[in-house]
Amino acid sequence: MKKVLMIAIVVFMSSTVYAGEKLTACGGLAYPPFMWKEGGKIVGVGTEVAEIIFGELGIQVESKAFSSWNRCLQEVKKGRTDMLVAATVNKERKAFADFTKNCLSEVPLAVFVWKDRAFRFEKWEDLIGKKMGGILGSSYGQKFDEFAAKNLKISEVVTPIQNFKKLEKGRVDFLPVGLYAGLIHVKQFGYADKVAVLKPYLKTECLYVAMSKKSEYLKHLPYVGRRLLKLHADGTIKRLIDKYIEYYVTTTE
């Protein structure tokens, strides 16, 4: 009887050891279906995946929408926020955050242009000398970041709509945007018949989950990586991508 009671106590304690713990997370303001601002929170695939995985550990995820993606990065860098729900890797970010070994999702990085001003594009070198519109704090992968800094004229803004308006007015020549988010924005902003996507894609980038090196929850990052593999294998992440594309298109003006 005592043995049974002890087992019951151990099971009870193990299921409540994380009770009351709360992890804070942030992300990009307008990168559907993976992350975007809704009210004062970040919602999307990245947030829900974090809620699933950390929920298994009894840890609540509280997402926060800051004034910009760059501000989110600074909060994680300073350790005031624990996690980036989705992010690409570069040297600067690796200095203050650790990343999962496995992807949250692979996303083609596409070149969006104004259809009437489309140009021939076969390789990165075809972009040399052109004006690129970017988002403050964004990274397009270490290699392309370095290529762009050396060879392109870069104009950065806070929101995607600002970039597409600059593209419309000819103030930039192209926008490097994740394919899913770009196609959603083109439809959302009423540019479906005015904007084109050039091929081949710039690259296929991997979005990871990242944790601040100062976070007390950093120890759980290997578990997060392992769970990402299983969530891909059972189709959960694909279903969430489809779910949030539909949700964003039908609920966001």
Domains of the chain in start order, with CATH, are 14-105+206-251 (3.40.190.10), 108-205 (3.40.190.10)
Distance (Å, rounded) from C-alpha 43 to C-alpha 33? 9
Distance (Å, rounded) from C-alpha 147 to C-alpha 125? 9
If you count them, how many residues does the chain have?
A: 253
Contact 153, 130 (CB under 8 A): yes
Distance (Å, rounded) from C-alpha 50 to C-alpha 224? 8
C-alpha torsion sign, points 11, 16, 17, 18: positive
pTM confidence score: 0.77
Provide the CB-side half-sphere exposure for 235 (13 A, CA): 3
Distance (Å, rounded) from C-alpha 76 to C-alpha 213? 8
Q: What string of pLDDT tens digits covers the 253 residues of the chain?
A: 434 434 443 333 334 354 579 999 999 999 999 999 999 999 999 999 999 999 999 999 999 999 999 999 999 999 999 999 999 999 999 999 999 999 999 999 999 999 999 999 999 999 999 999 999 999 998 899 999 999 999 999 999 999 999 999 999 999 999 999 999 999 889 998 999 999 999 999 899 999 999 999 999 999 999 999 999 999 999 999 999 999 998 887 6
Distance (Å, rounded) from C-alpha 167 to C-alpha 130? 12
